Chain A
Amino acid sequence: MSAASGPRVLAEARWPEPGDGAPPPVPGFVHSAFPPLVAAVADRCLTRRHGARPVPAGTRTAVVLVSASGDRASAEHVRATVAAGGRIGPLFFFQSVPNSVAGHIAARWGLDGPVVCLSPTGEPRADGTAEAELLLYDGDADEALLILIEQAPDGTPGEATAVLLGEGTP
């Protein structure tokens, strides 16, 4: 892939879309809406492209997760619990980094390309697309699932967008 052409949008999804309620819980993840939101928007996007799991064999798909705030609810729970001298539940360890839910999606859909999490320094979609393009150019991935997510400071679930990028036909 050349730097100039850029990857094509193969599928795109948002959560919420009209009619959506809260995203379904994700087994093994607790307390925060961040992992369910990421998993739901990723599932929706990949389903629009591929119909059913897993992705076709031989298609190395990267996961690029872009979030400025990260899993704010989990981080704040940990911070408050530690500051109060309390004990943290072990599941918080397993969801302490955005890689975990990215890995959940990767395992569920067979996405065996690179996993990259970024905190955006510019426009989030542009930052994430640039990373996806780089991974495709470099040959470590054939497609890239870009996930953009922000949680509101007040703890409301927030919203997420997922975009599947690659060289195929939209």
Chain B
Amino acid sequence: MADRQHLRITGVHALSALGRGADALLAGVLTGTPAFAPVRRFDTTGRRVTVAATLPEVGPLVDELTDAVDAACRAAGLDRTHRSAAALFLAVHGGPEAPALAADLARRCGLTERIRVYTTACVSASTAVADAATLIGRGDLDRVVVAAGYLVEPDQYALFDAGRAFAADGTVRPFSAGRQGLLLGDGVAAVVLESPAAAARRGAPTLATVPGWGRAGDAYHPCQPDPQGSGLARAVAAAVRRGGLPAEALGYVNANATGTPYSDAAEAAALRRVFGDRAGRIPVSSTKSVHGHALEASGLLELVVTVLALRHGKLPVNAGFLGPDDTCPLDVITDAPRPAVTDYALTLNAAFGGANTALLVGAP
């Protein structure tokens, strides 16, 4: 049973190349079949790599975000009145269009309490969740809908290709020997967060709790992680401390791991820094190996994965694994999903600028 003091997640929805809706996402990450395929959405002529995880027939981002928010609110049982008192925290790529996108989304979805727009690269959505948790915990807000979206498009694709960030072999292999890089993937998600009291007043069922969260910086480099994982380790430690849990209560880590050689090693170093030798016994997987990297939306897509995994008692597969790498001495879930043996999991994200977040998720 969920701790009465912990922030509640009462509704979720997600879109990815694995399909539309939570059921498709859960089925996809448990099956562990990567969704990468040649890009048809735009011309990739001249690019080093020409694959990504895209969902055919997606609409404009604002339409997909609207659909996601509506679906998550319906799942949470929010009526028009509840929505009008809810805040909207949106995570998207920054630029002159972002504020108008947020205002349009809020208007379409009837979320008028407060709007924030996070443009913190790959920790945008997870930072939004952490901030929502803080504001709800302090009593400033009762309810926040966090939405996030990235649909693979030509500009970011070209940038990642130019930066040689993509896996040239067309496979994402987090924590694995022979990993070559990341691949992009569509991700649009929405999550309804509520205070325990607000959820109880509505009699809303709890999908999961968020007992802890943490954010910290590396102070190391504009776009490379600290090889020692110092910032991520502090974010993880803060999340566990806020959650008030012993380390042995943690039964799964949905890792940030992108399949990039140095950043996966830095993440492994961070986990060992916090948990010591126990880090090698905590089941870990990065579902980016299946749905790809959804950039600003990755934190929310992976939070939804973690919530669903805990609810169903099965931990998703880390696809693409060729064999162990000495720089990543972790218990990586390969081959098949594993049963969840505890009620708590972490979902981690890291971004350019040395930005790191950790969200602690609890089964209801």
Contacts and interface: CB of A to CB of B under 8 A. Distances in A.
A117 B158 contact: no
B117 A103 contact: no
A93 B164 CA distance: 9
A134 B352 CA distance: 22
Interface stretch (A9-17, A82-90, A156-164): A82-90
Contacts of B230: 112
A117 B127 CA distance: 10
B95 A69 contact: yes
Given A70-B94, A100-B222, A121 B216 contact: no
Interface in B60-81: none
A30 interface: no
A113 B155 contact: no
A141 B39 CA distance: 42
A106 B94 contact: no
Given A90-B163, A117-B120, A140-B238, A96 B156 contact: yes
A11 to B, nearest CB: 19
B217 A113 contact: yes
Contacts of A3: 138, 140
B217 A137 contact: no
Given A78-B155, A131-B131, A63 B217 contact: yes
Interface in A90-127: 90, 92-104, 106-107, 109-121, 127
A78 B138 contact: no
B223 A100 contact: yes
B177 interface: no
Given A97-B119, A103-B221, A134-B131, A113 B216 contact: yes
B351 A93 contact: no
Interface string A120-150: 1100000100010011011110000000000
B176 to A, nearest CB: 23
Contacts of A95: 222
A52 interface: no
B260 to A, nearest CB: 13
B118 A82 contact: no
Interface string B5-33: 00000000000000000000000000000
A165 B154 CA distance: 39
Interface of B: 43, 45-46, 93-96, 98-99, 102-103, 115-121, 123-124, 127, 130-131, 134-135, 138, 140, 154-156, 158-160, 162-165, 214-223, 230-231, 234, 238, 351-355
19 contacts: A60-B216, A67-B94, A70-B94, A82-B154, A93-B160, A97-B121, A97-B351, A103-B221, A107-B218, A107-B221, A111-B217, A114-B215, A115-B355, A117-B121, A118-B117, A119-B102, A135-B215, A137-B134, A140-B215
4 tightest Cβ-Cβ pairs between the two chains A and B:
A93-B163, A99-B353, A103-B353, A114-B215
